[in-house]
């Protein structure tokens, strides 16, 4: 989209949830920097009136800030010339029964902006375009059916004249897809499934490649038993990135249907897969399946960060993609052709696989931590990472100034007991009982790390009491921001992770930090409002340790530090 290509270069604005098409979450602004950040103060705050987990962050277009909420998915257009005053408010009417089929809290990762429209993907899968000036509905379309467990939490993205959106419901046997709608009127342009026939998944058996080779005919269906692919999962609830020169969009697919691996033999393609698709047609150029035949719920949906000119073991790579997967491996890939360059653990605790075979691309699974090796109803213990991964949806930041990645991570292990389930539409299709805890010898559940994607190495690591469930922001001020589940907004030195600033906001932070400037002054904005999978105990009022798929027990003490409540805080330096 020409307008977005232009606007994403303007550091005064924040025009898409990911910062730019490459998912950098980086800003050239440097008024707030290593020396001045200690003076940062809240400038104004805004309560959203919604209690559950607030993911994503506000967009800033010109003089207007657009703030969204979890279900019921309110949107506020706030006037930056009169901070906190709403120019308009929008609240869709949605059947609240959708709340019951959202796996991991009622979160929403933010709307998209393009061509004078704000595009929101509601929990009930309605995609609605609003007039950015007035908040009036311009068009809306239904992308899925909550009665079958299809919901939405993700941020849509606009490419050219289309808006692309995915779907949630991997815990309900939903077959994932991404769908492009025409920005003009909401009519459907194309839809590509993660699993299914070559036509459904938009693969060309001869031209679409995996590890450099054509995938061949029926690559997905032949990797499933019988009709199981129809409940195959591979939902698409994470982030999109886009390379305008290659005209390719990148994203990952989630877990295969049912968490009980014994019930679904085969590689379960193309769940747990990175896709590179043509933005005009949806046709797949290349794919890479990170976790064939998943046994741990390591959804592959985390963001793909696009960087240029990396030198990996002496080889110059003009166009690379870096991805921190739930499975604990960080991948560096040639984004033109899908060639695997680096796959290394980004938490030393990761134990389910010894390494990734660089010839086949397959992780080498350690038998002791295979959840199917002992059959059903066997409790496999001390698997690291836990199902919520070494990193979940919380996005990392990239600084072109340092060439480093700044990654919010989880440091959590699990016991996993698979059991047999049968499918009923709209009912959980999980088939595993979990408990979660920190790795042996650790008492912290998270780390904030800096990562070198060419070498595949941690540069520094800063422990946090809880998982870092918020998205990072790197700036030209030589600092990196992130939020903690206790509710602190922190700024650290990009060189060594040394804490330079910490401020306690009213609730735990699972939102993504961003920055903008208005009338010559730099601001930093973040949503507080604890929740998400890590905070599901508090968000949904669950108290039994095994509830929330095992997250309730692990994060039990969170309520000693924070309480629910959505608040936007905007920070600035004193005049």
Ligand X SMILES: O=C(O)c1cc(C(=O)O)c2c(n1)C(=O)C(=O)c1cc(C(=O)O)[nH]c1-2
Write out the residues near ligand X by the rule CB under 6 A: 55, 103-105, 107, 153, 168-171, 235, 237, 254-255, 299, 388, 392-393, 532-533
Consecutive H or E run containing 285: strand 284-289
* Residue among 143 and 168 whose Cβ is closer to ligand X: 168
Q: Round to whole Å and give the CA distance between 84 and 567.
A: 12
> What b/e readout covers 337-371, taking b as 16+ CB neighbours within 10 angstroms?
ebbbbbbbbbbebbbbbeebeeeebbbebeeebbb
How would DSSP label each residue in 389-443?
-SS-S---EEETTTTEEEEEEE--EEEEEE------TTS----EEEEEEPPTT--
Question: Which residues are paired to 404 by β-bridges?
Answer: 399
* Residue among 438 and 511 whose Cβ is closer to ligand X: 511
At its nearest, how many Å lie between ligand X and the CB of residue 559? 17
3-state helix, strand, coil in the chain (%, to 5): 10, 40, 55
At its nearest, how many Å lie between ligand X and the CB of residue 97? 17
Q: Round to whole Å and give the CA distance between 575 and 563.
A: 32
- Token couple for 465: 């009491």
At its nearest, how many Å lie between ligand X and the CB of residue 326? 7
Closest C-alpha among 469, 514, 463 to residue 487: 469
**Given 124, 243, 267, 297, the catalytic residue:** 297
Q: Round to whole Å and give the CA distance between 489 and 484.
A: 7
At its nearest, how many Å lie between ligand X and the CB of residue 7? 27
Per the annotation, the verdict on 392 as an active-site residue is no
Q: Round to whole Å and give the CA distance between 68 and 131.
A: 15
ω into 556 cis (within 30 of 0): no
Closest C-alpha among 256, 252, 229 to residue 239: 252
Q: Tokens 């060189």 identify what position?
A: 495
Closest residue to ligand X using C-beta atoms:
170
| Residues with Cβ within 8 Å of residue 340, at least 6 apart in sequence | 211, 288, 331, 333, 356, 358, 361
Consecutive H or E run containing 553: helix 551-554
Phi then psi for 307, rounded to 5 degrees? -135, 155
Catalytic positions: 297
């Amino acid at each position: 989209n020409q307008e977005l290509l232009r606007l994403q270069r303007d550091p005064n604005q924040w025009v898409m949830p990911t910062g730019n098409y490459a998912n950098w979450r980086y800003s050239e602004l440097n008024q707030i920097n290593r020396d001045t950040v200690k003076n940062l103060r809240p400038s104004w705050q805004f309560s959203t009136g919604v209690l559950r987990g607030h993911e994503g962050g506000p967009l800033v277009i010109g003089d207007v800030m657009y703030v969204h909420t979890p279900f019921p998915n309110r949107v506020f257009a706030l006037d930056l010339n009169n901070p906190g005053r709403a120019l308009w408010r929008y609240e869709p009417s949605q059947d609240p029964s959708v709340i019951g089929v959202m796996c991991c809290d009622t979160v929403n990762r933010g709307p998209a902006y393009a061509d004078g429209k704000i595009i929101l993907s509601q929990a009930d899968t309605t995609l609605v375009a609003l007039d950015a000036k007035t908040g009036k509905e311009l068009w809306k379309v239904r992308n899925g059916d909550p009665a079958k467990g299809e919901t939405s939490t993700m941020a849509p993205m606009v490419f050219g004249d289309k808006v692309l959106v995915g779907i949630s419901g991997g815990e309900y046997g939903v077959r994932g897809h991404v769908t492009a709608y025409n920005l003009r009127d909401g009519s459907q342009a194309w839809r590509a499934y993660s699993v299914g026939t070559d036509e459904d998944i938009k693969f060309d058996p001869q031209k679409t490649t995996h590890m450099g080779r054509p995938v061949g005919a029926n690559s997905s269906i032949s990797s499933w038993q019988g009709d199981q692919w129809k409940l195959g999962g591979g939902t698409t609830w994470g982030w999109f990135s886009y390379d305008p020169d290659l005209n390719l969009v990148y994203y990952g697919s989630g877990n295969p249907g049912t968490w009980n691996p014994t019930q679904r033999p085969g590689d379960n393609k193309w769940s747990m897969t990175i896709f590179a698709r043509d933005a005009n047609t949806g046709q797949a150029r290349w794919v890479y399946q990170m976790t064939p035949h998943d046994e741990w719920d390591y959804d592959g949906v985390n963001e793909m960060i696009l960087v240029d000119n990396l030198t990996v073991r002496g080889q110059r790579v003009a166009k690379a993609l870096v991805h921190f997967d739930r499975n604990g491996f960080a991948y560096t890939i040639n984004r033109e052709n899908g060639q695997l360059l680096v796959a290394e653990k980004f938490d030393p605790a990761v134990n389910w696989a010894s390494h990734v075979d660089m010839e086949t691309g397959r992780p080498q699974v350690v038998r002791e931590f295979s959840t199917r090796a002992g059959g059903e109803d066997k409790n496999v213990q001390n698997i690291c990472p836990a199902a919520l991964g070494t990193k979940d949806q919380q996005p990392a930041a990239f600084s072109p100034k340092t060439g480093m990645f700044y990654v919010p991570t989880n440091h959590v292990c699990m016991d996993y007991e698979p059991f047999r389930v049968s499918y009923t539409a709209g009912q959980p299709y999980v088939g595993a009982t979990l408990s979660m805890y920190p790795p042996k010898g650790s008492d912290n559940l998270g780390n904030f790390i800096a990562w070198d994607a060419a070498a595949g190495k941690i540069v520094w690591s800063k422990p946090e009491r809880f998982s870092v469930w918020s998205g990072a922001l790197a700036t030209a001020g030589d600092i990196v921001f992130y939020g903690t589940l206790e509710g602190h907004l922190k700024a650290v030195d990009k060189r060594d992770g040394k804490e330079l600033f910490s401020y306690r906001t009213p609730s735990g932070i699972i939102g993504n930090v961003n920055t903008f400037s208005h009338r010559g002054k730099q601001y930093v904005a973040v949503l507080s409002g604890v929740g998400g999978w890590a905070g599901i105990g508090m968000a949904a009022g669950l108290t039994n340790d095994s509830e929330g798929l095992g997250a309730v027990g692990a994060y039990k003490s969170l309520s000693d530090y924070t309480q629910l409540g959505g608040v936007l805080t905007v920070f600035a330096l004193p005049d």
